[in-house]
Amino acid sequence: MASEKGTAYDVGVTFSLFNDKISITPRYYNNRAENIAQGGAGMGSINNLVQRRKWDDPIVNNWNVRGYGAVWGLDSRSQSNDGYELEITGNPIRGLRISASYGTAQIIDFARNPHSKAYALSRAGELKTLLEDAGGQLDTANKPQYNGASVSFAPGLAIANPAITDAMLTAVALTDGTYGTTKSRNDSVNDYNNLWIALAANDALADGIGLSRKTVKLVTDYTFQTGKLKGFRAGFAASYVQRDRAGFYSGDVVTNSAYNSSLPPSTTNSPWVSSSTGLNVWTPRPFYVDALLGYTFRVHGYGPLDGHEVELQLNIKNLYNKYDVYYQDDGVALRAPNGDLTSFTRVATPSRVAAYSLPVNYEFSATLKF
């Protein structure tokens, strides 16, 4: 695989207004990276098949007898990242400070796993041999199905070899004192078919939005300069992040629109199919507001403290006492929609809880300046 390479640039300009009391900076950035290493499509299925023992091999946990090793190499993807930012800072009037920003970001993944299919096809003969060693065979008149359609480039559909009966499989005495089962053969059949299904799913992936969101931040405070409230400060900070990506819609179980109820269910005519659209599963981010109150004064008439400045500050976190659950941006699980466990449908849902938001809390500090 070629080395990772990329280009990046950003353009911005700063305007100062009202005798430099306010600064405004709009900015655009664009980054592009190619050959980002990632696990190849279907490589897990290849490695599973490599690790299956020959159906009549008596050695427990033995790998294939052909000497084929696991695939450790990686494939790649490309990625572009661009967005706009607007930053405003300043002191428009005495005692007032403002810092605000708005930004957009969009990361697009494309050209994902460009070498995986060619690699699998180059080893098609070896994979067929491993399937046959495990007790399966290739039906070249049929193909595995992806989203209700045949995977055209697959060499055939893996099925159990009828010449190797269940009785033959279960009669093999293994070295740990147990006997063989049909599971290893069935797993090998599934491994073979799942490889080509995974490659078809990879081909079907459109350019994927890895991240697309807006962010807004505002921090401001005002310190009274005169009068009875001189030295008193009040302000707030608000932040909004639109969303995070929790994962992809992959392996969902959905209704098969091509199912023919007049025919018996089979591997090619199932009421349910596995769907891997590759679209993003989004998880929202909460909007929070924090507040602060402060007072600064000088000590008078207290011996060694005389003339020193004291700063009192009260921070109020999560002012509106919002309760939210944070999900990590890298984990989904297949769950029944709306918790309806009577349905066969399963949909990718954010699943990895990262943290729970803290309720409204108060932090008070007193600082004596020497």
Neighbouring CB atoms inside 10 A of 8's CB total 11
> CA 160, CA 362: separation in Å to the nearest integer?
67
CA distances from 88 to 16, 100, 104, 238 (A): 10, 5, 15, 15
- In the chain, the amino acid numbered 222 is Y
Tens digits of residue pLDDT in 88-135: 999 999 999 999 999 999 888 888 899 999 999 999 999 999 999 999
Burial class (CB in 10 A: 0-12, 13-18, 19+), 332: buried
SS3 46: helix
Q: Residue 353 has what pLDDT?
A: 74
Supply φ then ψ for residue 271, to 5 degrees. Answer: -70, -15
> CA 315, CA 238: separation in Å to the nearest integer?
13
Q: Residue 365 has what pLDDT?
A: 95
Burial class (CB in 10 A: 0-12, 13-18, 19+), 58: middle
CA distances from 239 to 13, 210, 354 (A): 24, 22, 19
Supply φ then ψ for residue 65, to 5 degrees. Answer: -90, 5
Per-residue pLDDT of the chain (370 residues; tens, 9 = 90+): 688 999 999 999 999 999 999 999 999 999 999 999 988 999 999 999 999 999 999 999 899 999 999 988 889 999 999 999 999 999 999 999 999 999 999 888 888 899 999 999 999 999 999 999 999 999 999 999 998 889 999 999 999 999 999 999 999 999 999 999 999 999 999 999 999 999 998 998 878 776 778 999 999 999 999 999 999 999 999 999 887 777 777 677 777 878 888 888 776 777 777 776 667 788 877 788 999 999 998 888 777 878 889 999 999 998 888 777 777 666 788 888 888 888 778 888 888 777 777 789 999 999 988 8
> CA 361, CA 291: separation in Å to the nearest integer?
11
Q: Residue 294 has what pLDDT?
A: 96
Tokens (6 digits) for 263: 């025919």
Interaxial angle between packed helices 124-133 and 43-50, expressed in degrees from 0 to 180 and rounded to the nearest 10: 40
Q: Residue 264 has what pLDDT?
A: 81
Q: Residue 306 has what pLDDT?
A: 82
Q: Residue 339 has what pLDDT?
A: 82
> CA 48, CA 237: separation in Å to the nearest integer?
52
Supply φ then ψ for residue 342, to 5 degrees. Answer: -80, -10
The residue whose two tokens read 């093999």 is 172
Tens digits of residue pLDDT in 267-307: 677 777 777 666 778 887 778 899 999 999 888 877 787 88
